[in-house]
Structure 1
Amino acid sequence: MTGFTTGEMSNSADRASCYMLHDAIYGGPGMAEDGPTGQDAPGQRAPRHGVTRRTMLKGAAAAGLASQLGLWLSRAEASTGDDWTAFDQAISGAFERMGMVGSALAVVRADEVLYQRTLGVRDLASGAPVTPDTHFLVASTTKSMTSALVATYVDSGALAWEQPVVDAWPKFRAPTDELTRSLRVIDLFCMATGIGEPASISAFAQGDPTTGQILDLLAILPVDHAPNEQFFYNNTVYTVGGYLPLLAQGVEVEDLAAAYAEAMRERVFRPAGMARTLIAADPRGVVEDYATGNGPAFGQGIVAQPYGPLGSFTPVGGALSNLEDMSAYVQMQLRRGVSVDGTRVASAANLEETWKGHVAIDLPPDVDPDATSASYARGWIAVDYRGGHELIWHNGGIDGFSTFIGFLPDDDLGLVVLNDMGPEPLGLYYYQYVLNTLLESRLGLNAGMPSKVEAAYEAVVASLDELAAEAVPVDPDVVAPYLGHYQGGFTVALDPAGALHVRKGGRVIPLLALGDDYVASGGLIPGLSVRFSLDADEVPRMELVGVDSVRRTTGLDDAR
Structure 2
Amino acid sequence: MAARIAATVLTLALVAAGCSSEEASPEPLADSPPAVPAAQIDRADVDAAVGDLDGYVEAMMARTGTPGVAAAVVYQDEVLYSRGFGVRKVGTDEPVDTHTRFQLASVSKPVASSVIAASVGDGAVDWTDPVRRYEPEFAVADPYVSEHATFVDLLSHRSGLPDHAGDVLEDFGYDYDDIMGRLDQLPLASFRDSYAYTNFGFTAAGNAAAKAQGTDWPELSRRRIYEPLGMADTSSRFEDWANSPNHAVNHVLAEGSTTEWEAKYVREPDNQSPAGGASSSVDDMTKWIRMELGGGEFEGRRIVDADALQYTHTSHSLSGASGTEGARDSFYGLGFNVGTDDKGRVELSHSGAFALGASTTVFMLPSEQLGIVVLSNSAPVGGSETVSAQFMDQVRNGRQTVDWAPLIAGIFDGIAEEEASPIDYATPPASVTPARPATEYVGTFDSPFHGPARVSADGDRLTLTVGKDGRLTYPLTHYDGDTYFFETSGENAVGPTGVTFEIVNGAPASFAVEYLDKQGLGRFTRS
Q: Which has the larger radius of gyration?
A: 2
Distance, in Å, in 2 between the alignment partners of 1:407 and 1:237 is: 25
Alpha-carbon distance change, 171 to 437 in structure 1, aligned in 2, over 3 angstroms: closer
Determine if contact 2:141/2:187 at 8 Å carries over to the other structure. Answer: yes
Residue in 1 that maps onto 2:316: 358
Residue in 1 that maps onto 2:102: 136
Distance, in Å, in 1 between the alignment partners of 2:221 and 2:416 is: 42
| Aligned-residue offset at 1:363 | 5.2
Determine if contact 2:466/2:473 at 8 Å carries over to the other structure. Answer: yes
Is residue 534 of structure 1 aligned with residue 501 of structure 2? Answer: yes
Residue in 1 that maps onto 2:168: 203
Residue in 2 that maps onto 1:269: 226
Residue in 1 that maps onto 2:122: 156
Code of the residue aligned with 1:142 in structure 2: it is S
Code of the residue aligned with 1:437 in structure 2: it is Q
| Aligned-residue offset at 1:217 | 3.9
Distance, in Å, in 1 between the alignment partners of 2:170 and 2:252 is: 20
Residue in 2 that maps onto 1:450: 404
Determine if contact 2:250/2:267 at 8 Å carries over to the other structure. Answer: no
Distance, in Å, in 1 between the alignment partners of 2:244 and 2:236 is: 12
Distance, in Å, in 1 between the alignment partners of 2:416 and 2:335 is: 34
Alpha-carbon distance change, 510 to 206 in structure 1, aligned in 2, over 3 angstroms: closer
Residue in 1 that maps onto 2:37: none
Distance, in Å, in 2 between the alignment partners of 1:394 and 1:494 is: 46
Code of the residue aligned with 2:292 in structure 1: it is Q
Code of the residue aligned with 1:532 in structure 2: it is V
Determine if contact 2:352/2:359 at 8 Å carries over to the other structure. Answer: yes
Residue in 2 that maps onto 1:313: 272
Greater RCO, 1 or 2 (C-alpha within 8 Å, sep 6+): 1
Is residue 337 of structure 1 aligned with residue 296 of structure 2? Answer: yes
Classify the secondary structure of the residue corresponding to 1:386: coil
Distance, in Å, in 1 between the alignment partners of 2:335 and 2:93 is: 35
Distance, in Å, in 1 between the alignment partners of 2:164 and 2:378 is: 22
Distance, in Å, in 2 between the alignment partners of 1:507 and 1:237 is: 24
Is residue 412 of structure 1 aligned with residue 369 of structure 2? Answer: yes
After superposition, residues 503-518 of structure 1 pair within 5 angstroms as: 518=485
Alpha-carbon distance change, 332 to 305 in structure 1, aligned in 2, over 3 angstroms: farther
| Aligned-residue offset at 1:136 | 1.3
| Aligned-residue offset at 1:353 | 0.5
Distance, in Å, in 2 between the alignment partners of 1:268 and 1:511 is: 46
Determine if contact 2:225/2:303 at 8 Å carries over to the other structure. Answer: yes
Distance, in Å, in 2 between the alignment partners of 1:515 and 1:325 is: 51
Alpha-carbon distance change, 468 to 332 in structure 1, aligned in 2, over 3 angstroms: farther
| Aligned-residue offset at 1:93 | 0.8
Cα deviations across residues 368-392 of structure 1 (Å, max 9, x unaligned)?
A: x997232011111101111112211
Aligned residue pairs total 454
Residue in 2 that maps onto 1:235: 199
Residue in 1 that maps onto 2:329: 373
Distance, in Å, in 1 between the alignment partners of 2:441 and 2:67 is: 37
Classify the secondary structure of the residue corresponding to 2:205: helix
Residue in 1 that maps onto 2:156: 190
Code of the residue aligned with 1:188 in structure 2: it is L
Distance, in Å, in 1 between the alignment partners of 2:78 and 2:334 is: 26
Cα deviations across residues 455-505 of structure 1 (Å, max 9, x unaligned)?
A: 6279779999xx999689xx999988768876425677899xx99897756
Classify the secondary structure of the residue corresponding to 1:438: helix
Q: Indicate which of 371, 393, 400 corresponds to 2:357.
A: 400
Determine if contact 1:510/1:522 at 8 Å carries over to the other structure. Answer: no
| Aligned-residue offset at 1:237 | 2.0
Determine if contact 2:166/2:183 at 8 Å carries over to the other structure. Answer: no
Determine if contact 1:298/1:521 at 8 Å carries over to the other structure. Answer: no
Q: TM-score, normalised by structure 2?
A: 0.73
Code of the residue aligned with 2:247 in structure 1: it is Y
Distance, in Å, in 2 between the alignment partners of 1:112 and 1:333 is: 13
Q: Indicate which of 145, 152, 155 corresponds to 2:111.
A: 145
Code of the residue aligned with 2:367 in structure 1: it is D
Classify the secondary structure of the residue corresponding to 1:148: helix
Code of the residue aligned with 1:146 in structure 2: it is A
Residue in 1 that maps onto 2:14: none
- Structure 2 stretches of 5 or more lacking a match? 1-45, 429-433
Classify the secondary structure of the residue corresponding to 2:384: helix
| Aligned-residue offset at 1:115 | 2.2
Distance, in Å, in 1 between the alignment partners of 2:347 and 2:261 is: 32
Cα deviations across residues 197-231 of structure 1 (Å, max 9, x unaligned)?
A: 47562234268444444544455543221x22111
Classify the secondary structure of the residue corresponding to 1:435: helix
Residue in 1 that maps onto 2:188: 223
Alpha-carbon distance change, 212 to 522 in structure 1, aligned in 2, over 3 angstroms: closer
Determine if contact 2:102/2:280 at 8 Å carries over to the other structure. Answer: yes
Cα deviations across residues 271-324 of structure 1 (Å, max 9, x unaligned)?
A: 123122112235565211111111124347532232223343212111121121
Code of the residue aligned with 1:442 in structure 2: it is V
Classify the secondary structure of the residue corresponding to 1:395: strand
| Aligned-residue offset at 1:508 | 6.5
Alpha-carbon distance change, 176 to 102 in structure 1, aligned in 2, over 3 angstroms: same
Residue in 2 that maps onto 1:436: 389
Classify the secondary structure of the residue corresponding to 2:238: coil
Residue in 2 that maps onto 1:41: none
| Aligned-residue offset at 1:404 | 0.9
Alpha-carbon distance change, 175 to 546 in structure 1, aligned in 2, over 3 angstroms: closer
Residue in 1 that maps onto 2:84: 118
Alpha-carbon distance change, 407 to 502 in structure 1, aligned in 2, over 3 angstroms: farther
Determine if contact 1:135/1:289 at 8 Å carries over to the other structure. Answer: yes
Q: Indicate which of 370, 389, 394 corresponds to 2:345.
A: 389
Is residue 94 of structure 1 aligned with residue 60 of structure 2? Answer: yes
- Structure 1 stretches of 5 or more lacking a match? 1-79, 556-560
Alpha-carbon distance change, 170 to 302 in structure 1, aligned in 2, over 3 angstroms: closer
Determine if contact 2:250/2:264 at 8 Å carries over to the other structure. Answer: yes
Determine if contact 2:347/2:363 at 8 Å carries over to the other structure. Answer: yes
Determine if contact 1:149/1:264 at 8 Å carries over to the other structure. Answer: yes
Cα deviations across residues 501-528 of structure 1 (Å, max 9, x unaligned)?
A: 9775698698896965646387546652
After superposition, residues 444-483 of structure 1 pair within 5 angstroms as: 444=397, 447-453=401-407, 456=410
Distance, in Å, in 1 between the alignment partners of 2:240 and 2:457 is: 30
Residue in 2 that maps onto 1:543: 513
After superposition, residues 245-324 of structure 1 pair within 5 angstroms as: 245-249=209-213, 251=214, 259-282=216-239, 286-299=243-256, 301-324=260-283
Distance, in Å, in 2 between the alignment partners of 1:437 and 1:232 is: 28
Classify the secondary structure of the residue corresponding to 1:346: coil
Alpha-carbon distance change, 371 to 297 in structure 1, aligned in 2, over 3 angstroms: farther
Determine if contact 1:296/1:522 at 8 Å carries over to the other structure. Answer: no
Q: Indicate which of 100, 103, 109 corresponds to 2:69.
A: 103
| Aligned-residue offset at 1:446 | 8.4
Determine if contact 1:209/1:311 at 8 Å carries over to the other structure. Answer: no
Distance, in Å, in 2 between the alignment partners of 1:479 and 1:182 is: 50
| Aligned-residue offset at 1:134 | 1.5
Determine if contact 1:206/1:312 at 8 Å carries over to the other structure. Answer: no
Classify the secondary structure of the residue corresponding to 1:131: coil
Determine if contact 1:532/1:541 at 8 Å carries over to the other structure. Answer: yes
User: Which stretch shows the higher mean deviation, 455-464 or 102-111?
Assistant: 455-464
Code of the residue aligned with 1:155 in structure 2: it is G
Classify the secondary structure of the residue corresponding to 2:361: strand
